[in-house]
Structure 1
């Protein structure tokens, strides 16, 4: 357990007040922009539903990195959610924060199953319920709402134990024919689970590893309180970020623990590097968390002192992240619908395609450069919407429901 975290926590005055840390919003906004690239690729790229962009036998470096760079989105978002919760704990009593987290967690789960699922699939009959990052955040937030009453050191210990130890479950899961029970599946085993003839749950985000990451992010919130100077925070974030990257390199090189996907020499040095950094997201491995959170901490160390047009735009996206997340799915899928009809498909054809996500025909789509063009269009469309919503939130701060968006 990191004694620095506990020492900083215990030294905080009970009434410590914190101004909003803009670097957190900037990083969160950057994550949202990068995340949209992956979602555009997933719905538009010609091989998105016929091949894995991380398949070293068939991918290209450009396609691999287009997918790989977006690996950072979910873990950073979950980690920063925990950090933001800690900063809220400096303004609210534990009881107030606990009630808020439980309510918000339940709301996020409901939103994932209804509003977000519809935006992803465009299937009003809900043939597939999508449980992804919003589910992971909501379920983790719900549990943190219960754990918030525990001592700080115990919360930190639980978080570190999950992050460092959950890959022990990889061993039984690797046994041929392994079938998880319900509890095991919910905690650690992603998959598609059918619960009716025409209905299934697409369960990509088993919540236990994400809970561990949120708890660690919560405890890292002590670095962002007003009693920590900017210079102190920069030093702590830089050392921790570099330490996580070094830990990743050493443990990954050993091929012994931390990720079930072993790396191996490939046809050339570049593809060997791709194999080395190709780590598991579903569920997120220890090494996956290290190689995404480490650079994120370095980014936070650098970005806090920067102010320019780009950081202003990213901060706007970061301050409206949940609004952005919901709207961007509907925007991307609407563009997908338009492309589907422009390719000559009849409206009725969507029900003949046995895919959970509608208006998708496996094998059809656009090239990678066009994916980037569509991504740019999405971001340009989202910015004025998010700027309007940010202004609305700022001018209506007393409306309680806004805290849930």
Structure 2
């Protein structure tokens, strides 16, 4: 099997794992009375304790957003090459990326905001707007994008705290770009710029994959080196307990406090930890893939190849489950997640087949 396909399969596995973890997190939001989600200094009360099993159930899902955004950037780089090989001109490619980004962003701005009863900008808003910007930015080349991404990630906190008071009013322009905003009428969980920087890193990785002529083992080794650098950054930032934590500081030396990092907005400690863990997992999948092969109907692969559809479909499934399951403890959340995954697997298989049968239809946007 072609090595490029091998790599894409590993990316789909990684994306599929993210979908499983995301389903657990959202099932917890629906059915877990003791759910912990104080991943920001805005809502965290200093000195408050954590129930370990609740904390770690939430913590394992931290991998989802950075990985999904990173892999979106990677997929963009790969798709650009594939479309060029099919003879699509650059303007058509850019237009398609821009339209898909706008469509994804509008899902949050229109659909999910309507269902929430207020303007509610979540991960689809950040992904969609970032894709629209990447339709122009990718022409700068991977070196410029890499430097720009690292500058935004490491300098973002210095800029953010100049204007952001966690318990005060947040200007609209800052809420849309750098800092979260929570209110009864308007909420921004995912300001664009930090997530755009992560997408840039993903695009750089995807572009490197395309031009790399060596084996997947070499890719795995590079991922492992990158993971060590990222995790070392996490340990330094969290250890010094100052800049890089988005004001959500470590209160003691317990494992929970080391891992209690800011997701809203994403801190250096959060991003370096999650991307470091993602790189290790992706390296392992690249290593495993030629040993275990690709099962076309493996659930993780299917979920990874229908990720946006899965994201949109799992909310109605969870909503329907509220008719049968009560809001109870953590066990109820795990049960709901398992039922959701089982229910969506055949649906995702059918959707994937339909999308592949009509690759140029509107389904390509989902």
Bucket of the pairwise TM-score, normalised by the shorter protein: 0.7 to 0.9
* 1:256 equivalenced with 2:242 (yes/no): yes
Alignment of 1:374 with 2:360, yes or no, is no
Counterpart selection for 1:312 from 293, 298, 301: 298
**Separation in 1, partners of 2:299, 2:166:** 49
Matched residues, number: 347
Q: Distance in 2 between matches of 1:254 and 1:65?
A: 23
| Deviation (angstroms), 1:173 | 5.0
Q: CA deviation at 1:249?
A: 0.8
Following superposition of structure 1 onto structure 2, how do residues 114-133 of structure 1 map, counting pairs within 5 Å? 114-117=110-113, 121=115, 127-133=117-123
Alpha-carbon contact 1:115-1:326 (below 8 Å) kept: no
Equivalent pair of 1:98/1:148 in contact (CA under 8 Å): no
Aligned to 1:324: 310
User: Is the contact made by 2:30 and 2:333 (CA closer than 8 Å) also made in structure 1?
Assistant: no
Contact 1:105 1:141 in 2 (8 A): yes
- Please say if 1:36 is aligned against 2:23: yes
**Cα distance, 1:31–1:95 mapped onto 2, change above 3 Å:** same
What secondary structure is seen at the aligned counterpart in 2 of 1:180?
coil
Change (3 A) 1:94 1:148: farther
Distance 1:333 1:58 in 2: 30
Alpha-carbon shift at residue 337 of structure 1 (Å): 4.5
* Contact residue 191 and residue 202 of structure 1 kept, 8 A: yes
Question: 1:220 is matched with which residue?
Answer: 205
- Pick from 257, 262, 282 the counterpart of residue 300 of structure 1: 282
In 1, distance between residues paired with 2:169 and 2:113? 26
Q: Could you tell which deviates more after superposition, 172-181 or 366-375?
A: 172-181
The one-character-per-residue Cα deviations of 1:322-362 (angstroms, maximum 9, x if unpaired) are: 1100000111112124547xxxxxxxxxxxxxxxxxxxxxx
Cα distance change of structure 1 residues 286 and 310 upon mapping to structure 2, 3 Å threshold? farther
Deviation at 1:135, TM superposition (A): 0.7
- The 3 A distance-change label for structure 1 pair 80 and 146 is same
Counterpart position of 2:95: 99
**Counterpart among 150, 155, 158 of residue 160 in structure 1:** 150
Given candidates 89, 107, 115, the residue that maps to 1:111 is: 107
- TM-score, length-normalised on structure 1? 0.79
In 1, Cα distance between equivalents of 2:269 and 2:91: 35
| Structure 1 residues 360-371: aligned runs within 5 Å | 365-371=327-333
User: In structure 2, what is the equivalent of residue 400 of structure 1?
Assistant: 361
Q: Cα distance, 1:251 vs. partner?
A: 1.9
Note the C-alpha offset of 1:117: 4.1
Aligned to 1:27: 14
Kept after mapping to 2: 8 A contact 1:94/1:149: no
Q: 1:129 to 1:334 in 2, by over 3 A?
A: farther
2:266 paired residue number: 284
Structure 2: stretches of 5+ with no match in the other structure: none
Residues of 2 paired with 1:319 and 1:70: CA distance? 19
Aligned residue for 2:182, secondary structure, equals strand
Q: Which runs of 5+ in 1 are unaligned?
A: 1-16, 195-199, 267-271, 341-364
| Mapped pair 1:172 → 2:158 | no
Which structure has the highest helix share of the two?
Answer: 2
The structure number with the bigger radius of gyration is 1
Alignment counterpart, residue 237 of structure 1, candidates 204, 223, 229: 223
